[in-house]
Structure 1
Amino acid sequence: MRKDIQIPEVTNVVMAVVKEYNDIYKTDDWNVYILNNKKVAIEMVLIVSHGYDDKDTTSKMRHKIQKLPANSFAKVELIQPELFKLNNEFKVSFFLDNQLQEKNFTFKKNSLKESALRVVKELGGKKGIVEK
């Protein structure tokens, strides 16, 4: 029975943590984005996020995006720098061609830092850290 279940490999969907200036509050914010680099839209995108390590765990946050068009992105949440000392996990599920797909993205503890920032061309050249 198990051998009959086919789990598709998720490609061209990535998560990024981006540092960007907030004009309203005059602060540098760290925001999490999901990027759909596919040539087709993905639907019913569900994202469950939380931070954890051996001692601490944050509460889970849940987000829903009804439809994420092809070659586009969406802001998921603001992430506080105090959480960078934890592993930050994002479980992403979505439908593609009426088939459920899912993938986990984990930003390892202490990997979110200024020195790791790189240009994310899909976000108009903003600097961030991408997890594939």
Structure 2
Amino acid sequence: MIKDLPENRVEDIAVAVALEKESAETKLWYVYLINLKKEAIENVLITSKGYGEKDGEPVKTSVLRHMFPVVPSNSFVLIEPIDEQTFGLNNEYWISYYIGKEIFDKKFIFLPESIVEMHFIKLPVVNKPGVMIK
């Protein structure tokens, strides 16, 4: 039965962690969904969670869910703020959306310690420094 499902490839969609503000004592980070397509995506559902190990013990964060009715072409939406303390975990964002009547979905996972300055780029559309998975 699974072989009968269409293989809808997710293309031109990205998840990015951007450095919003920085002061001497703190940094403010946000996670964005970036739609690089030439068309809008609709009924966007995003689940986010963190998991991994800290001090030899398994750690899990709460699962958060976000819904956006429409993300226009060549635009972005703010998914959530992210705490720097979770950068040592796997940070997973599972994105599902529709284009017309077709559904697409993909998991984007920021691996532990991958959100670091040496991986920064200028994020397209958002125009801020950050790390992006496409």
- TM-score of the superposed pair, with normalisation by structure 1: 0.91
Equivalent residue number for residue 9 of structure 1: 9
| Structure 1 residue 6 displacement after superposition | 1.2
Indicate yes or no: 2:70 matched with 1:67: yes
Equivalent residue number for residue 27 of structure 2: 28
| Structure 1 residue 2 displacement after superposition | 3.1
Q: Which segment drifts farther, 114-123 or 71-80? A: 114-123
Structure 2: where are the runs of 5+ without partners? Answer: none
Aligned pairs, how many?
129
CA distance in 2, matches of 1:49, 1:68: 18
- Code of the residue aligned with 2:17 in structure 1: it is V
Q: Percent identity?
A: 37
CA distance in 2, matches of 1:117, 1:38: 22
CA distance in 2, matches of 1:68, 1:27: 30
SS of the counterpart of 2:59? coil
Moved over 6 A (4+): none
Per-residue CA deviations over 1:41-99 (Å, capped at 9, x if unaligned) read: 00010000000014111110110111000111001100000000000000000011211
CA distance in 1, matches of 2:108, 2:122: 19
1:1-132 to 2 correspondences below 5 Å = 1-21=1-21, 28-54=27-53, 55-124=58-127, 126-132=128-134
- TM-score of the superposed pair, with normalisation by structure 2: 0.90
SS of the counterpart of 1:123? coil
| Structure 1 residue 7 displacement after superposition | 2.3
- Code of the residue aligned with 2:16 in structure 1: it is A
- Code of the residue aligned with 1:127 in structure 2: it is P
SS of the counterpart of 2:10? coil
- Code of the residue aligned with 1:16 in structure 2: it is A
CA distance in 2, matches of 1:65, 1:115: 31
Per-residue CA deviations over 1:83-119 (Å, capped at 9, x if unaligned) read: 0000000000001121111010000011112222111
CA distance in 2, matches of 1:93, 1:51: 18
Q: CA RMSD in A?
A: 1.7
